[in-house]
Amino acid sequence: MVILPRERPIKEYLLQAAIRRGFPEMKDELVRIQQGLAGEQYVDRSWQDMQLDEEFYLLHDFSTDTHQIDTLFVCEKFILIVEIKNIAGRIDFDERCHQFTRTLENGNVQGFRNPLDQVRRHQRFLRQLFPDLPVIYVIVLAHPKTIIGQIPQNEPIIHCSGLEFYIRKLLTMHKARLSTEQLQRLQNELLQMHTISNPKLNIDKDKVRTGVLCKQCDYTTQMLFQYGRFICPKCQIKDDGTMLQRAIEDYSLLINEWITNIQFRKFMRVNSIYAANRLLKKLNLSHKGDKKGRKYFISFKRNSQINPRNHK
């Protein structure tokens, strides 16, 4: 049972907004995040296909102030830390140097943060919290074409296709440690520990591109506010409110969650204070203060939880 669903990371929305607003150098980081998410979604489908007799709970993107874990598998017998890597090419682990490398078909070698160091750190953390329950880890390779090269002996580094076999092997090796009530308390305790991060980008806010940007033109054209609505001067499309909504969300992500009428006019390129008031009212933002001191709160909502079946 999934008790903590996987959501699209807020960092992805931040980077997308930054790229739209004049920071194209963020594209490489966005690609890395999206590739990582695609790998996690690929592995998530495996959980849906498993038909296990034991009761278990899944916590995706489990986070505390100091730890971020791709997936936790929790059952009456153990806690399993699942670290997911979506990396093509040949991968090698050098235990002596604590080095993790990937070799591409063209011979280029790239270094990455060693996932073994990551999962061992998570393991130490959870063992301190739950000393009476075995805490195990596994590194799962999501990319089907990854070639596993040199790896330390007896370390659980497997392809996604072997995950169910590995889980079933662990279930036969370990005996039950928790009652149903204790297992319920454990999953509640983990949910209470979970924190939601609020990352920020290190950008110059004064260089953020302003205006309502035309989605039809791939956000390259700034729309003009004429006769009470935003119109693209290039393709002539009229905004139905969705592009204004995207602009106010970009403001929230990159600049501030709070906005005044004058800040709204400056960012959206609207001259009239009365027109700005009408637009802010249509956006249905909560607010505090009155008249000139009024501030509006922009509540950014991520897309609903990910259904891995919809992401092939």
What phi and psi, each to the nearest 5 degrees, are found at residue 68? Answer: -130, 115
Residue 303 confidence (pLDDT): 61
Write down the pLDDT at residue 24. 96
- Of 97-106, 209-218, 219-228, least confident by mean pLDDT is 97-106
Token output for 108: 């280029």
| Least confident window among 13-22, 49-58, 241-250 | 49-58
Summarize pLDDT for 135-168 with one digit per residue, the tens: 999 999 999 889 999 988 889 999 999 999 999 9
d(CA 215, CA 235): 10
Beta-strand relationship, 286-288 and 147-148? unpaired
CA 95 to chain centre: 29
- Digit-coded pLDDT (tens) for 62-74: 999 999 999 999 9
Buried b (16+ CB within 10 A) or exposed e, 233-259: eeeebebeeebbebbbbbbbbbbeeeb
The average pLDDT across 2-18 equals 95
Helix, strand, coil share (%) of the chain residues, nearest 5: 40, 20, 40
All domains of the chain, ordered by start, with CATH? 2-199 (3.40.1350.10), 207-297 (no CATH)
**By the 8 A CB rule, do 38 and 82 touch?**
no
Q: Is 43 exposed, middle or buried (0-12, 13-18, 19+ CB in 10 A)?
A: buried
- Report, as an integer, the average pLDDT of 159-182: 95
